[in-house]
Amino acid sequence: MIAYLSRRYLFSASHRLHSDAMSDEENREIYGKCNNPYGHGHNYTLQVTLSGPVDPQTGMVCNLAGLDGFIEREVLARYDHQNLNTLSEFATQVPTTENLCIHIYEIVHRGFTLAHLERVRIEETMLNAFEYDGEGTSSE
């Protein structure tokens, strides 16, 4: 029997959406106010969804303390209260929330082995949410 577990985490970070491959005018046209040279911030809601068999002894898909500790060490410590543009993974990539979602998925997929990672979802605003499941992205 497979069950699904979704856990939410909160973090804050700033970014500027700007591509060096485009002119300043193109960047302003595509990214609008998100191309502000001083950047802007978000209070993100990260949701990690895992699946696996329910352990007959514990009654859980995975140990929540183990998941929380991993996310704290490997994700929140890296991204919370950071300017995403200054991080190595965004040295050649625009720090959109789509790209952030993919990076976080890869961190969890590589490092957390106590359950199967189904997807990562990030809510950037009340109107924007992004998901990545290892095969493709979708946005709302």
Concerning whether 124 is annotated as a catalytic residue, the answer is yes
The alpha carbon dihedral of 102, 107, 41, 5 has a sign of: positive
Q: Which two tokens stand for residue 29?
A: 């046209």
Q: The tokens 């990076």 sit on which residue? A: 103
The residue among 111, 97, 95, 108 whose CA lies nearest residue 7 is 108
Q: Which of 26, 29, 40, 81 is catalytic?
A: 81
Q: Which of 118, 123, 124, 131 is catalytic?
A: 124
DSSP conformation class of 73: I
Contact between residue 130 and residue 98 where contact means Cβ atoms under 8 Å apart: yes
Q: Which of 34, 74, 106, 116 is catalytic?
A: 34
Concerning whether 18 is annotated as a catalytic residue, the answer is no
Rounded to the nearest 5 degrees, what angle is found at the Cα of 127, between the Cα atoms of 79 and 16? 40
The catalytic residues are 34, 81, 124
